[in-house]
Amino acid sequence: QIQLVQSGPELKKPGESVKISCKASGYTFTDYAMHWVKQAPGKGLKWMGWINTYTGKPTYADDFKGRFVFSLEASASTANLQISNLKNEDTATYFCASEGVLLYWGQGVMVTVSS
């Protein structure tokens, strides 16, 4: 069965960086796009962008241009999200979701940014 398994929770200070991973199994990694979705505590879902797992080309939503980087380790069927220069407002759960209409989801990673 298709599974997306994300890395564990992170506690970071403002200004630091964080890298979250999302390992896919149960399908050919390059068959489906990988999306990233942010959910701040008690808030709704926000689409951050997606990466073409075949070409490696990322597309970022407007609010996530600059400090956010999507990358792949295709040989390991893994997608990564790196956030640099962390701010308090980056505190959120970050989900990866694969397939064109975000059918398959990881369990989410809680990132806490606090001094």
Partner 1 sequence: DIQMTQSPPSLSASLGDKVTITCQASQNINKYIAWYQQKPGKAPRQLIRYTSTLVSGTPSRFSGSGSGRDYSFSISNVESEDIASYYCLQYDNLYTFGAGTKLELK
Torsion of CA 88, 59, 101, 18, to 10 degrees: -30
Nearest to 85 by CA among 37, 13, 22: 13
Q: Which of 68, 70, 94, 95 binds partner 1 (CB under 8 A)?
A: 95
Contact, 41 vs 98, CB < 8 A? no
Q: Rounded to the nearest whole angstrom, what is the least distance from the CB of residue 74 to partner 1 in the complex?
A: 23
Q: State the binding string over 67-86 for partner 1 (x if CB under 8 A, else -).
A: --------------------
Question: Residue 44 or 66: which CB sits closer to partner 1?
Answer: 44
Instruction: Determine the 3-state secondary structure of 74 from DSSP.
Output: helix
- List residues near partner 1 by CB under 8 A: 35, 37, 44-47, 50, 59, 61-62, 95, 97, 100-103, 105-108
